[in-house]
Amino acid sequence: MIGAERGTYEHVLYEKDGRIARVAMNRPKKRNALSLDHMRELTDCFRKIGDDKGISVVVLAGEGPGFCAGHDLSEMIGKDPDFYRRTFDVCCELMDAIRSVPQPVIARVHGIATAGCQLAATCDLVVASSEASFATPGVKIGLFCSTPMVALSRAVGQKKAMEMLLTGDFVPAEEAHRIGLVNKVVPAGELDDAVRALTDKISAASPLVVGVGKAAFYKQSEMPIEQAYAYTKEVMSSNATFADAQEGMCAFLEKREPEWQGR
């Protein structure tokens, strides 16, 4: 990327180009399997992104032949309960970091997504190549995908989520789109262009307002409808007082492009 700022990790590639950040899982020989160190680096990267007001949108990608395989099983043989609890604590912290950052996070998915299925379901948006496939295959190795089902069951219908969890079968990209796990499916050669078109649209909006909206979306989604309306009414009333909201409304009426101030 021309003019990109780069960050250095062992298992993660980070670039910032203008208002767009790209986080790439970089364990291609392991198909980006989630080791403890890998998850900790991803969590650290996302938390730093969340604090950067110069970033409007984040793309999460995977280097090599696939987006992200499962947990790194080579770390998980013959350990005690505390190790497994720590591993899944770190995994949950990563998912929380992705959901908690104010910037929308777009998963750019190619190849297989197994642990990547949980990551994709956790991200705000998913763009997949037509050869991508998604699965929660833990049941096949005696380890039910209990933490992945939290995000999966909130992204797709209950029956399909249970089918994926109970069979471990792969779901092709087009079916993943049909069941609501994926926003858009494109040929592999068009994947980067499709992601860029989406990031450009999102980054044209006020980052402050987008961040408020993302947080409100997830908070209201778990509320009864009456409580959700009461909560979102207050969020929107506050939002209307923002300088960016006033600027945006004036710009619309004056038929010009808004100039966001971040307040």
pLDDT, tens digit, 9 for 90 and up, residues 32-53: 999 999 999 999 999 999 999 9
Position 260 in a domain: no
Question: What whole-number percentage of the chain has pLDDT above 90?
Answer: 96
Are 244 and 209 in contact by the 8 Å Cβ rule? The answer is: yes
Extended strands (E) in 115-259: 125-129, 133-134, 171-172, 184-186
Stated pTM of the model: 0.94
> Which among 183, 248, 181 is positioned nearest to 210, based on CA atoms?
248
If asked whether residues 118 and 81 sit together in one domain, one would say yes
∠ Cα 7 195 38 (to 5°): 40
Query: Which domain does 97 fall in, by range?
Result: 5-203
CATH number of the domain where residue 226 is located? 1.10.12.10
Q: Based on the domain organization, do 140 and 188 belong to the same domain?
A: yes
pLDDT of residue 6: 65
Point out the domain boundary residue: 188, 203, 218.
Answer: 203
Are 166 and 232 contained in the same domain?
A: no
Nearest to residue 107, comparing CAs of 219, 190, 22? 22
Residues in the chain: 263
For the cut 60, the answer to whether the pLDDT of residue 217 exceeds it is yes
What average pLDDT does range 81-96 have in this prediction? 96
Is the CB of residue 119 less than 8 Å from the CB of residue 113? yes
- Is pLDDT at 207 greater than 70 in this prediction? yes
Summarised one tens digit per residue, pLDDT across range 50-71 is 999 999 999 999 999 999 998 9
Give yes or no for residue 2 having a pLDDT over 50.
no
Contacts (Cβ under 8 Å, ≥6 apart) of 155: 121, 180, 181
**Quick one: 184 and 223 in the same domain?**
no
Helix (H) or strand (E) holding 107: strand 105-109
Band of pLDDT at residue 5, cut at 50, 70 and 90: low
The reply to whether 148 and 224 lie within a common domain is: no
Q: What are phi and psi of 57, to 5 degrees?
A: -155, 150
176 assigned to some structural domain:
yes
Model pLDDT for residues 125-168, shown as the tens digit of each residue: 999 999 999 999 999 999 999 999 999 999 999 999 999 999 99
Residue 112 bridge partners (DSSP): 133
Same domain, 161 and 233: no
How many Å apart are CA 133 and CA 127, to the nearest integer? 12
- The residues that bridge with 58 in the sheet, in sequence order, are 21, 105
Q: Same structural domain for residues 228 and 197? A: no
Q: Which residue has the higher pLDDT, 174 or 1?
A: 174
CATH number (domain holding residue 17)? 3.90.226.10
